[in-house]
Amino acid sequence: MNILDLDRPIWFMRQAGRHLPEYNKIRVRKKNFLEFCFDYESIVTSTLQPIKRYDLDCAIIFSDILVIPYILNQRVDFIKGIGPNLELLEMDELLNLTLNQKKLEDLKNCYNAIREIRKLLHKNKCLIGFCGAPWTVACYMVDGNSKNGFIRTKKLMRSEKPWLIKLLRKIVDVSTEHLMNQYKSGCDTLMIFESWAACVDFNEYNDFLYEPVEKIINNLRSMNVDVPIIVFPKGVGEKIIDYVNHVSADIISIDNQMNMNWVIKNINRNVVLQGNIDPKVLLNGGEILEKNVKELLKIVKGRKHIFNLGHGILPETPVENVQKIIDMIRLQK
């Protein structure tokens, strides 16, 4: 299904994952998170779990943005309760990384799972494939983790710009291929997550944010990929106006720091908006959640809009709160 043909579709970033008891139940079958991410059955089941429970309009493939450094043969670990940790490499080692055929085989399980999910998913529902934006993936590849606010990446952005641009180009190529494979396997919507956009210096947005993402989009379009593309430039603030002028995505996902009233006034009508309930408001529920949802629906009335959060669902979020938000939107439609 084309997401743009649906009337205010609803889905949630990180809908497949830890807030669902049924996910936590199957997650324990694999010790290692990446092992789970590359397991055909686990991908199919966890992708469909939120659709079964909430009847959402879109499913997002259960995977992670860090599969890209993994297939480039950089060691990636997920440490329980902390998050990802990548092997620290020297600058030349990073540039010399190449695709590892054996690890690519792991990703084939993901593409095969997409084929199966597409068969199992009702034709009126969308299937979203995704990758991280090159800058965000580079942040993890260069710094290893987010503990120190990506200080090494930021330093190299200033002192070794040509080197970092070369690294981004490598990520552009692999990410294009990865999105292309997800599309060919049955994804009808593609999303690019730029979670760490805010780490880029304002005067460097063009080279580190716009250019690499635009290149991926142009690569896909030149290969006749005609499905809607969503971008999520988290933390760019008012630079979002500039962002939509430089990146030709169909849909822009708005983070929860942004005022949707301001966004509506300042972003061109031909860009579809997605977002932007605060995940903490969803976590806490109650009257404030109701008020926020009502307000958002009022603001986006008459505008093409995909209902979502401003970032991922928090693991402690009660399923009742998620159900409540869905019921509210469906009642008001």
- Does residue 62 interact with ligand CP3 by CB under 6 A? yes
For residue 236, state whether it binds ligand CP3 (rule: CB under 6 A): no
Shorter beta-carbon distance to ligand CP3: residue 38 or 62: 62
Query: CA–CA distance from 229 to each of 63, 111, 157 (Å)?
Result: 18, 18, 27
**Contact status: 121 vs ligand CP3 (CB under 6 A):** no
Q: Which stretch binds ligand CP3 (CB under 6 A): 63-71, 116-124, 274-282, 286-294?
A: 63-71
Query: Which of 150, 210 has the CB closer to ligand CP3?
Result: 150
From residue 99, alpha-carbon distances to 92, 136, 138, 183 in Å are 16, 19, 16, 20
**Nearest distance from C-beta of residue 20 to ligand CP3, angstroms:** 9
CB of 127 to ligand CP3, least distance (A): 12
Contact characters 170-209, ligand CP3, x per CB under 6 A: -----------------------x-x--------------
With CA atoms as reference, report the closest residue to 243 among 271, 222, 276, 218: 271
Cis peptide before 181 (omega within 30 of 0): no
- Dihedral angle of Cα 58, 7, 329, 284, to the nearest 10 degrees: 40
Kindly state the smallest distance separating residue 229's Cβ from ligand CP3, in Å.
15
Residue with tokens 């040509």: 162
Binding mask 309-328 for ligand CP3 (x = CB under 6 A): ---x----------------
Cα separation, 178 vs 171, whole angstroms: 10
Q: To 10 degrees, the CA torsion angle through 199, 71, 314, 56? A: 120
Quick check: 84 binds ligand CP3 (CB under 6 A)?
A: yes
Instruction: Decide if residue 53 touches ligand CP3 (CB under 6 A).
Output: no
301 vs 231: CA distance, rounded Å: 22
Locus of tokens 């009022």: 298
Which of 1, 48, 64, 100 touches ligand CP3 (CB under 6 A)?
64
18 binds ligand CP3 (CB under 6 A): yes
The reply to whether 135 sits near ligand CP3 by the rule CB under 6 A is: no
Residue 280 found at the interface with ligand CP3 (CB under 6 A) = no
Rounded to a whole number, what is the largest CA-CA distance in the chain? 56
Binding region for ligand CP3 (CB under 6 A): 13-18, 27, 33, 60, 62-66, 78, 83-84, 130, 193, 195, 312
